[in-house]
Structure 1
Amino acid sequence: MRRRRTLPATLAALAATSLLLTACGSDDGGGGDDDKIKGADDASSAPPSPKESEKGVERPEIDFPSYAKNEFEGPTTGDPKKDAVLADNAERINSIDDAIFKGTTDTEALSFYSTGEALVSAKEFIDGYIEANDKWAGVTRYFDRTVSFRDDGAAVVIYCSDESGSVISQNPESEKLPDEPGSARAYVLYNTRLEQNEDGVWQTTNVISKRGAEQCAP
């Protein structure tokens, strides 16, 4: 069975902003009950609501089908500013999958959490699913998410994903999910730049990714 696709890497854009790829874990950086995926009751696909950026901002709804879930480990740091960045990072990830499930890039959430090169690459990624008439099923785990801040006020979020528990399928509701750990190719390292807009939302502006990254594999 096929594993999840990886977002296109926008290397040129990130080189211009001197956003360097570093290791994960650095100090800074419907259906009924029978249709539910294993572990779906253990954690929500939605991260905790942002603290710093939520005031006065009406956020778009993001809904996942019962057969899919994004799981975010260690969502809070105790630092309100970092937690707001991590919350919007998680919602950006969710907004991409929300668009995949809806079968369109014309969603409110997608442009709410992404802008610039990150929005372009997200649409390219989603279009790949739409053109193939694909969705995905299972659990994708996001972990070792770290935040640092640049002198220009932007935030950098570096994190890993584990796609070993999810698969691409044209019939995701009936897809048999993996029951064995995936190969190193199932682990992806992401390095993202976020900038806070006038509404206080931390929008992702640039992304690079590396599949099979040693920093993320067990």
Structure 2
Amino acid sequence: MSLFMRGVIATVAVSGLVLLSACGGGDDGSGKRDIEGAKDGGGKPASASPSASASASGDPGAPKLDLPEGVHVVLDGDDMTGDPEKDEILRDHADAVNAMALAYSTGKPDVPVVHTYFQDDAGKQVQSRVKEYRAEGKLGTGTYRYYDRRVTVGKEAAAVTFCESQRDAFAKMVDTGKVVHTKPSKSDFTSGKAIMEKRGGTWVVISMAGKGGDEECAR
């Protein structure tokens, strides 16, 4: 199951565009945002100390992202648009999905880089689901692929839609180190949507939703 889906869905079956990455949770009624799914969680933005080391996106000013051995996040380079603002959003989204992978592969959602890129509702969900997954004795491992990313920019928020493949990603049991390999299926593919706001110079995910088993994302 997609990292974004795993971070979003509790008891709801995979039924499309829940809270974080695919189709948002509705406007907050303030009229400030015109991106579907954007809403204000009311919390103060978290921050992390920037690192001089390159991030997943290649931005030397972004926090460092060191994934454990055997964990990889692959993003399609063809997603870049040539538009400075949209490409900035895509670079920060790249760092966000790497931060998500870091949280699941280590079982540690409280590291600063996760708080940097996931705030408000998105932040609460990542914290809750990663801890739940770790409590089940599991960590994430393998390769997570993101592609067909597209950006829509509104007045105060942006939406990034994307596809994710976990065909080569699996759960690893903490107590034994055993990787639980699963048979390929359409559930390996997820369509998602991340609602992002710029805070302190960084575009952060504030809400997300996903649709698992999306055949349009199959490849």
TM-score by length of 1: 0.73
Cα deviation for residue 87 of structure 1 reads: 1.0
SS at match of 2:57: coil
Amino acid paired to 2:19: T
- Aligned position for 1:48: 58
Cα deviation for residue 71 of structure 1 reads: 0.5
SS at match of 2:216: coil
Cα distance change, pair 189–118 in 1 and its aligned pair in 2 (3 A): same
SS at match of 2:217: coil
- Give the Cα–Cα distance (whole angstroms) in 2 for the partners of residues 130 and 174 of structure 1: 14
Amino acid paired to 2:115: S
Unaligned runs of 5+ in 2: 9-17, 29-34, 38-54
| 1:149 aligns to 2:153 (yes or no) | yes
Alpha carbons 1:71, 1:139 under 8 Å: kept? yes
- Aligned position for 1:193: 195
| 2:36 counterpart (11, 15, 19) | 19
Alpha carbons 1:137, 1:173 under 8 Å: kept? no
Alpha carbons 2:71, 2:105 under 8 Å: kept? no
Cα deviation for residue 47 of structure 1 reads: 2.5
| 1:183 aligns to 2:152 (yes or no) | no
- Aligned position for 2:130: 126
- Give the Cα–Cα distance (whole angstroms) in 1 for the partners of residues 63 and 56 of structure 2: 12
Say which is worse superposed, 169-178 or 82-91, in terms of deviation.
169-178
- Give the Cα–Cα distance (whole angstroms) in 2 for the partners of residues 127 and 143 of structure 1: 27
| 2:115 counterpart (106, 111, 127) | 111
Amino acid paired to 1:117: D
- Aligned position for 2:32: none
- Aligned position for 2:91: 87
- Give the Cα–Cα distance (whole angstroms) in 2 for the partners of residues 131 and 64 of structure 1: 20
SS at match of 2:74: strand
- Aligned position for 2:170: 167
Unaligned runs of 5+ in 1: 21-44
| 1:63 aligns to 2:73 (yes or no) | no
- Give the Cα–Cα distance (whole angstroms) in 2 for the partners of residues 80 and 192 of structure 1: 19
- Aligned position for 2:52: none
Alpha carbons 2:80, 2:87 under 8 Å: kept? yes
Aligned residues: 182
Cα deviation for residue 13 of structure 1 reads: 6.2
Q: Please give the per-residue CA displacement for 1:64-100, whole angstroms capped at 9, x wherever unaligned.
A: 1121101001252222211110111111111122122
Amino acid paired to 2:64: E
| 1:10 aligns to 2:19 (yes or no) | yes
Alpha carbons 1:161, 1:188 under 8 Å: kept? yes
Cα deviation for residue 4 of structure 1 reads: 5.1
Cα distance change, pair 4–76 in 1 and its aligned pair in 2 (3 A): closer
Cα deviation for residue 112 of structure 1 reads: 0.5
Alpha carbons 1:67, 1:138 under 8 Å: kept? yes
Alpha carbons 1:160, 1:189 under 8 Å: kept? yes
Cα deviation for residue 177 of structure 1 reads: 5.6
Amino acid paired to 2:121: E
| 1:97 aligns to 2:101 (yes or no) | yes
